[in-house]
Structure 1
């Protein structure tokens, strides 16, 4: 039962963190090539082939989104360290102490930390996905001839997309701060040693 639950969890995580962001990012680029793809797969099974291709491309692009999200997380980490006046090496030291200590497995705080980490990954991946979506929409506007735009709906969509983007960014920044706070206190709880400089840092 535990193995089955673990597999379900991994599939759900892949869907939320990889496939969905990949599908969002892919949509405008796929529409750019839709006519060519439709010609490539003629016949009754065309929609099935296109669906399979879209799913595979979404999965592949989702990994690219994951990498970009990780890079953006590093940028947020560095900004957080600069804001809090924390040496970045000390920040990484806290992270490594947390990762390589098995004692943290039994703490309730660790389970909460993991849920917060999943939430941060969701935010980072969808920030990248929305950015790629907007870029794809712009390219479609530029390269598709006689492209008809409903400006009213487009403006509403852009306002919603940009508002969501700013909200996710705000939550991601807060998530970075919260995760560092939990790592520091979990490490202290399990009795890990810190340098004097680390102990003097205010979080």
Structure 2
């Protein structure tokens, strides 16, 4: 059972804990207006995951900006998958890859995170173990943004600003998340207070 302290703890990025299985391709970050086709795209991808893993899917959710109606986003569907043990890749990796989800990276020091890239659709499948605070945070943020248009707009502005800054100043695409982080943390702190976690 997760504690409130675990859920509200902001984890700093640990570059030493990141292992690229497939090196990222350089590319420009593009933020687009919300596309009403995104939920259907998620549903198709979720069906592929469930068909591949069956009862080994403990939880599967549409998260990230494409899961929030009206929110501008990178046109990449994010899915959060919970399995019995994210570190036990032998139990799920081959089946996911057969379904078109290629293992992209491991972050062993960050909740045992694994991320798979879908080969056809633009999608990231994030794999977690049970009781992962980051997966809880994703759902809390998603549900809050669905109900709070002022924070939805603030987040959209932060994303557009980050993408514009990278286009102007250069720098790796990974900096995009760092540039958005202060706004996300401000919003999450409001979420945590509203839920009595702070």
Normalised by the length of structure 2, the TM-score is 0.25
Between structures 1 and 2, the one with greater helix share: 1
**Between structures 1 and 2, the one with greater strand share:** 2
- What's the TM-score, normalizing by structure 1? 0.24
Say which one has the larger Rg: 1
Could you say which structure has the greater relative contact order, defined with CA pairs below 8 angstroms and 6 or more residues apart?
Answer: 1
